[in-house]
Amino acid sequence: MLKLSKLEVVYHHVSTAIQGISFEVKEGNLFAIIGANGAGKTTTLRAISGFLGIDNAKITDGEIKFQGEKIGSLPPHKITRKGIVLVPERNKIFETLSTQENLVIFGGRTLSSKESVDRIYEYFPPLYERKDSLSGFLSGGERQMLAMGQALLCSPKLLLIDELSMGLAPLVINTLVKSLLQMKKDFGLTILVVEQNAVVALNIADYAAVMESGRIVFDGSPEKLLSHEDVREFYLGIRDDKEKTYRDVKQYRRSRRWWG
């Protein structure tokens, strides 16, 4: 569904943020990119969704194809109309509107407003309890639920999520992940998520890649990345020991079943 080929992105005509990355996201899969802050993960999503211009950045080499069509030069609204929808980092919502109003703005444009918004409340029950509250007073987890609900109401084919779990409590992350996986199943979504939390990302991904300094340095199935010594130590905090390890492959596979 999505293919990046030797993509290069430069900020302010000087700083190279993305250095020739290539990867493919297959239809119906959840592809995760993990890496430290500043690795180029958010820039990658902005390049795909057309939002590089807000930071005076541009694609200087390579190409992005969505369903076989080049989209690297398209503005954000045209990319969205093709079915690529971004859930941005730090939950860009309309804080002076209620939860209900935030959802109706998006749902009313593409679907029957009442039915579509009610569907979002089924996935995220806490939002229904706060539907008349100003969204500026929502918790971090509720804001993320609202942002994901808004994105779903845009009828995405490819959903881009920037830092799903950032700053959230484990129980909230569990709720978000389970809802995301259920939406993926119900709507046949293809998902590209970038995450600093490698444990979360590898638990939900069908395929994953590791970014460092604008490059992809490892990629493969979650099991493959989990077995790589450098990934285990630097991204999962697991230092291998013959007698004892914090998490092994068997534990990981059990956790994937629990997550959905």
The domain that contains 49 carries what CATH number?
3.40.50.300
Residue 180: per-residue pLDDT: 94
Is 16 inside a domain boundary? yes
Q: Which two tokens stand for residue 54?
A: 């807000």
Distances from the Cα of 32 to the Cα of 35, 175, 239, angstroms: 10, 18, 23
Residue 138: per-residue pLDDT: 94
Residue 246: per-residue pLDDT: 43
Amino acid at position 167, single letter: G
Residue 113: per-residue pLDDT: 53
d(CA 48, CA 2): 9
Is 134 inside a domain boundary? yes
Is 41 inside a domain boundary? yes
Read off φ and ψ for residue 7, nearest 5 degrees: -75, 135
Angle at 249 between CA 247 and CA 252, to 5 degrees: 70
Q: Write out the chain in H/E/C secondary structure.
A: CEEEEEEEEEECCCEEEEEEEEEEECCCCEEEEECCCCCCHHHHHHHHHCCHHHHCEEEEEEEEEECCEECCCCCHHHHHHCCEEEECCCCCCCCCCEHHHHHHHHHHHHCCHHHHHHHHHHHCHHHHHCCCCEHHHCCHHHHHHHHHHHHHCCCCCEEEEECCCCCCCHHHHHHHHHHHHHHHHHHCCEEEEEECCHHHHHHHCCEEEEEECCEEEEEECHHHHHHCHHHHHHHCCCCCCCCCCCCCHHHHHHHHHHHC
Amino acid at position 7, single letter: L
Residue 37: per-residue pLDDT: 87
How many domains does the chain divide into?
1
d(CA 121, CA 123): 5
Q: Which two tokens stand for residue 230?
A: 């450098």
Is 248 inside a domain boundary? no
d(CA 4, CA 70): 10
Q: What is the pLDDT along the chain (260 residues), one digit of tens a residue?
A: 999 999 999 999 888 999 999 999 999 999 999 998 889 999 999 999 999 988 899 999 999 999 999 999 999 999 999 999 999 876 678 899 999 999 988 765 544 456 688 889 999 999 999 999 999 999 999 999 999 999 998 889 999 999 999 889 999 999 999 999 999 999 999 999 999 888 899 999 999 999 999 999 999 999 998 888 888 887 776 666 544 444 455 555 555 554 44
Residue/partner pairs of 249-255 with CB below 8 Å, 24 or more apart: 249/223, 252/202, 252/203, 252/222, 252/223, 252/226, 253/223, 255/203
Sign of the C-alpha dihedral, residues 165, 245, 217, 258?
A: negative
Residue 108: per-residue pLDDT: 57
Is 257 inside a domain boundary? no
Residue 238: per-residue pLDDT: 66
Residue 93: per-residue pLDDT: 87
Residue 114: per-residue pLDDT: 60
Residue numbers of the domain that contains 158: 2-222
Is 204 inside a domain boundary? yes
Cβ atoms 240, 233 nearer than 8 A: yes
Is 253 inside a domain boundary? no
Is 230 inside a domain boundary? no
